[in-house]
Structure 1
Amino acid sequence: MNITNPYAQVGWAGTGNSNRSAPIPSIFGALPSPFHSSPTANSIHRFEFTASNPDVQNCTVVGPQSKTYFQILNNTPSQNSTLIQNGDGASIALIQWAHSSGALVEVRDIIRRQLVAQWLPLSEDAKYRFMKARDRIMVWVPQDGNVGLYTYGTTTPELYAKISRSEGRLVLEMSSTAIRIGLLECCVAAAVLLRSGRFID
């Protein structure tokens, strides 16, 4: 692992199969400020991945009003898959780690079962990952030790979500816009993938 590469921490460096067919973006310019310093009226919803043992693959996701929104369960003892359930115990996403061509991901009613390298393909320069969901193309971009999800193809990229660490816990912050258009489940699955420390491509 190249410790001087900030993208290596989210598994973007040294991956075998970057998708060379992904579109090359226009120059983004200055990305929007992180949520905590944004003056916009778009409210922010915070989700904490708690009781990680030892990592994001086995934890509870707690959101506003300390409500449990998701359970993330690693399939033991084989540890070949990670299941994401909603607060009612219904399965909403599945990640299969052991696959000859890389990890597979599926998000119920949103993302059909496919390789992570197809759903979250690396950019040509390996500096960010694209994500397609709800008929939208977005990008996950590392910035200041965090990873932000931005709109793609707009003159002023909008910050939809941010993955960060706070007091040792993984935190996902999402704008009300992102939740309203139905990106919560996809962002939780992406957070598990990007912060798993496992090979995803």
Structure 2
Amino acid sequence: MFESFSIGWAGQRHSSALWDNNGFEPSTLGALPYWQPPPPTNLITFYITSYNPADILNCTVIGPDQERYLHVVTDPHNPMYTLFQKIQASGGSRSCALVEWQRQPLVEIRDVMSKYPIRDWLHLNSDERARSMQFQNARYTWAPQDRYINMHSAGSNPVFLARISRGHGTITLDLTNQAIQLGLLDACIIATVVMQCGRNID
């Protein structure tokens, strides 16, 4: 059973308008020029869970074999910053990304992307039905379809790479092997958290 959830297209002001039918968008996207992927197979699944307290900005990301992959941490005494901390084999952690919740929020991915406005990194398309994500000189599209938010490569021959869904108390991020090979894992996790946190990112 899936829950209703905001897809973060344009912050809180548009979430209710985009979803109905128990929180999921009807099949109007079929009339739009967005590619619809076939049922994917052999997906690698990550669970965003253990909200603390009931907040995706303080959570744990669990990977294959139930291994903890990453912590998302927002200090209640300094809520302007959200850290993404990758869990090391030794048991420690290393920060891999940072979100600064300014009037125009910024995102930084360590060794990959310097501070950049989230509204530009996850650009809301003019029809407000999809977001374009820039990452390492390539462009990708996030768009809702049925009970998922699907990500695929942009261009004339789009390739399905990832999808987001939500159940009770857990957000699921499924990625293809190709997405992992392209180095998209951390970017997809960050994008998922940012789009699902309920804050205005535009």
* TM-score, with length taken from structure 1: 0.81
Matched pairs, number:
176
- Compared CA separation, residues 161 and 52, structure 1 to 2 (3 A): same
* Distance (Å, rounded) in 1 between the aligned partners of 2:165 and 2:61: 14
Counterpart of 1:123 in structure 2 is 125
Deviations 1:2-45 (A, max 9, x none): xxxx9x922224689xxxxxxxxxx7354113xxx33x5xx311
Counterpart of 2:48 in structure 1 is 49
Structure 2 gap ranges (5+): 14-31
* Distance (Å, rounded) in 2 between the aligned partners of 1:49 and 1:189: 11
Counterpart of 1:19 in structure 2 is none
1:95 to 95, 99, 120: 99
Conserved 8 A contact 1:49-1:170: yes
* Distance (Å, rounded) in 2 between the aligned partners of 1:193 and 1:29: 22
How much has 1:78 moved relative to structure 2? Answer: 2.7
* Distance (Å, rounded) in 1 between the aligned partners of 2:163 and 2:179: 11
Counterpart of 1:189 in structure 2 is 190
- Compared CA separation, residues 189 and 82, structure 1 to 2 (3 A): same
Residue 59 in 1 paired to residue 59 in 2? yes
Counterpart of 1:9 in structure 2 is 6
* Distance (Å, rounded) in 2 between the aligned partners of 1:111 and 1:121: 16
Superposed, which structure 2 residues align to 1:1-201 within 5 Å? 9-13=6-10, 28=33, 30-33=35-38, 37-38=39-40, 43-53=42-52, 54-88=54-88, 89-97=93-101, 99-100=102-103, 102-155=104-157, 157-201=158-202
Conserved 8 A contact 1:134-1:181: no
* Distance (Å, rounded) in 2 between the aligned partners of 1:31 and 1:142: 10
Letter in structure 1 aligned against 2:8: G
* Distance (Å, rounded) in 2 between the aligned partners of 1:13 and 1:111: 23
Conserved 8 A contact 1:163-1:191: yes
- Compared CA separation, residues 14 and 75, structure 1 to 2 (3 A): closer
Q: Sequence identity of aligned pairs in percent?
A: 34
* Distance (Å, rounded) in 1 between the aligned partners of 2:79 and 2:135: 27
* Distance (Å, rounded) in 2 between the aligned partners of 1:80 and 1:14: 17
* Distance (Å, rounded) in 2 between the aligned partners of 1:132 and 1:29: 17
Conserved 8 A contact 1:12-1:127: yes
